[in-house]
Amino acid sequence: MNSFDLDQPIIELASPTERNYWTIRHAVEGVQIFGGIGSGKTSGSGRMLALKYLKAGFGGLVLTVKPDEKQSWVEYCQKTGRSNDLIILEPGGRHSFNFLSYESAQSGGASSLTENLVDVLKTVIRAGEQQDKGKGDDPFWETALDMLMFNVIDLCQIAYGKVTVKDLYNVAQTIPKNIEDLKLSSEENAKYFHKAFEAAKERVNQQVEEWYLTLSHEDQERMQDELAMETELLEAIPSARLFRFIDQFFVENFITLTDKTRSIIDFIFSGFLFRLLREPVYSMFCRHELSTVTPEDSLRGKIILINLPVKIYHKVGRDCQILFKYLWQRAMEKRDIGRNDRPVFLWADEAQNFIHEKDADFQATARSSRVSTVYISQNLPNYLASMGGQHGEYKVKSFLGTLATKIFHANADIETNKYASELIGDAFFEDHGDSVTYAKNFSHSHSTSFKLERVVRPEEFVRLRTGGPNNKFFVEGYLHRQGDVIFKGQNHIKMLFQQNYQP
């Protein structure tokens, strides 16, 4: 049943002479809130927008950086009668999400599962690397890492018929260091890798055997020729082909990498898996086969909050939230608006923590899948630090271009203020202080000229009100909509947000 009208107002923009609305249509084109620390992002515009979205029946996903965010959302949901829709995924909580089973169920078969998993894992791992060291642009180790993931996942699938984080970790940890090591596969010193390899080989051989028995007598005769046998069975049995690739990869490519490259890749992949294997995240994302929450719950009006605040759980808190976020984004992209048009939000305060390389692509389709992304962050340099790499500034600005509404609160960051000022743009102002002083003595004619100037100068953002008792709980901010007249013929409006706003 569809019941959400894109023109439904979310925020009223009103003055004594004009009334206009910021609607669901605007919401699903994305929102970026900027402002310095303590400028009123969270308690001013953020809080109000959250309450409005909840009141309007949005589903959503909330990522957390600070430990008090859970409590805020519990209160927001209480105030808007949405408490029953709030699902909190947290350590020791009653919800769990098994991302591997979820992905298996989403994927159409073994090979597409491997592709999907590699895509998800690499997106998460790269986002983490980018945040840590900014080496996310090195194509060589990226490719080597992708190949490693592909082959380890495929090996586990062939050997055990499924993929678990434990198996991936154990296999990745025990890949032989050299060719000698690879051959040492006697029972006693067989490591996990060898066992998986043998198990895979056995499974493939079994399939070969079964296949052979289905052949006619003549064909079996023909198979006496090794080359013919090889060609036909690789054709007939996909896992035999795959196993051949895996074998080739480890023997010819991976084991022969230099120690340094190998140890970087091992370290990144195993380190990532290792963090997932530790509590509390193991129980939340890996231990239980069945998930009690999935991204699709948001489409049914649930608000999923992941209470793994980055301030407390650091890297693993961020990895897990980016992982969930990416799966959630893909689920939203697949939705059928014709059958379910409920708007959903993707909420991230201190959003720079959760940016990944596919975000810009996702934003391009967010509007048509009715996703209102709300990212809150202090300034442009924050984004630059987390998206950085080559052409960092260009990446950040074009990414910000995908969030059509921007709210600028008080800020001391010069770059952000300049950006805000430039976005809002120039207009012609009457210029009174002119150069006619000399002529004035001789003439009565009054000449006016017009001068092109910034409508809001960068330094005006420094002085905006930031809430709290001194400001009577008012937070000021400029709301700007890209390429659109929103109010009084302008693309922006100076607004007051009340910290004690009640829905």
Ligand X SMILES: Nc1ncnc2c1ncn2[C@@H]1O[C@H](COP(=O)(O)OP(=O)(O)O)[C@@H](O)[C@H]1O
Contact set with Mg ion (CB under 5 A): 42
Nearest to 326 by CA among 117, 135, 133: 117
Q: How far is the CB of 347 from Mg ion (least distance, A)?
A: 12
Q: Which is nearer to ligand X, 11 or 323 (CB)?
A: 11
Give the single-character DSSP code of 297.
G
Q: How far is the CB of 309 from ligand X (least distance, A)?
A: 15
Give which of Mg ion, ligand X, none residue 473 binds (C-beta under 5 to 8 Å, depending on kind).
Answer: ligand X
Looking up tokens 């997932």 gives 276
Give which of Mg ion, ligand X, none residue 294 binds (C-beta under 5 to 8 Å, depending on kind).
Answer: none
Q: Which is nearer to ligand X, 409 or 481 (CB)?
A: 409
Q: How far is the CB of 499 from ligand X (least distance, A)?
A: 4
Q: Order of strands, edge to edge, in the sheet holding 405-408?
A: 86-89, 303-306, 59-63, 344-349, 371-377, 31-34, 405-408, 474-481, 492-498
Give which of ligand X, Mg ion, none residue 179 binds (C-beta under 5 to 8 Å, depending on kind).
Answer: none
Q: Which is nearer to ligand X, 62 or 124 (CB)?
A: 62
Q: How far is the CB of 468 from Mg ion (least distance, A)?
A: 13
Max intra-chain CA distance, the chain: 117
Give which of Mg ion, ligand X, none residue 369 binds (C-beta under 5 to 8 Å, depending on kind).
Answer: none
Q: How far is the CB of 42 from Mg ion (least distance, A)?
A: 3
- CA–CA dist 346, 147 (Å, integer): 31
Q: Which is nearer to ligand X, 351 or 387 (CB)?
A: 351
Q: Which is nearer to ligand X, 96 or 411 (CB)?
A: 411
User: Could you list the residues that contact ligand X (CB under 6 A)?
Assistant: 35, 37-44, 466-468, 473, 499
Give which of Mg ion, ligand X, none residue 64 binds (C-beta under 5 to 8 Å, depending on kind).
Answer: none
| Helix ranges (DSSP H) in 388-489 | 392-400, 414-424, 437-440
Q: How far is the CB of 33 from ligand X (least distance, A)?
A: 8
Q: Is residue 355 classed as helix, strand or coil in its secondary structure? A: coil
- CA–CA dist 484, 138 (Å, integer): 39
Q: Which is nearer to ligand X, 285 or 497 (CB)?
A: 497
Return the sign of the alpha-carbon dihedral for residues 24, 20, 397, 73. Answer: negative
Q: How far is the CB of 350 from ligand X (least distance, A)?
A: 9
Q: Which is nearer to ligand X, 42 or 372 (CB)?
A: 42
Q: Is residue 431 classed as helix, strand or coil in its secondary structure? A: strand
Give which of Mg ion, ligand X, none residue 81 binds (C-beta under 5 to 8 Å, depending on kind).
Answer: none
Residue type, 214: T
Helix/strand/coil percentages in the chain, nearest 5: 55, 15, 30
Q: How far is the CB of 45 from ligand X (least distance, A)?
A: 9
Give which of ligand X, Mg ion, none residue 38 binds (C-beta under 5 to 8 Å, depending on kind).
Answer: ligand X
Asked if the bond preceding 280 is cis, omega within 30° of 0, the reply is yes
Give the Å distances, CA to CA, from 211 to 157, 160, 208, 223, 436.
20, 20, 5, 12, 98
Give which of ligand X, Mg ion, none residue 467 binds (C-beta under 5 to 8 Å, depending on kind).
Answer: ligand X
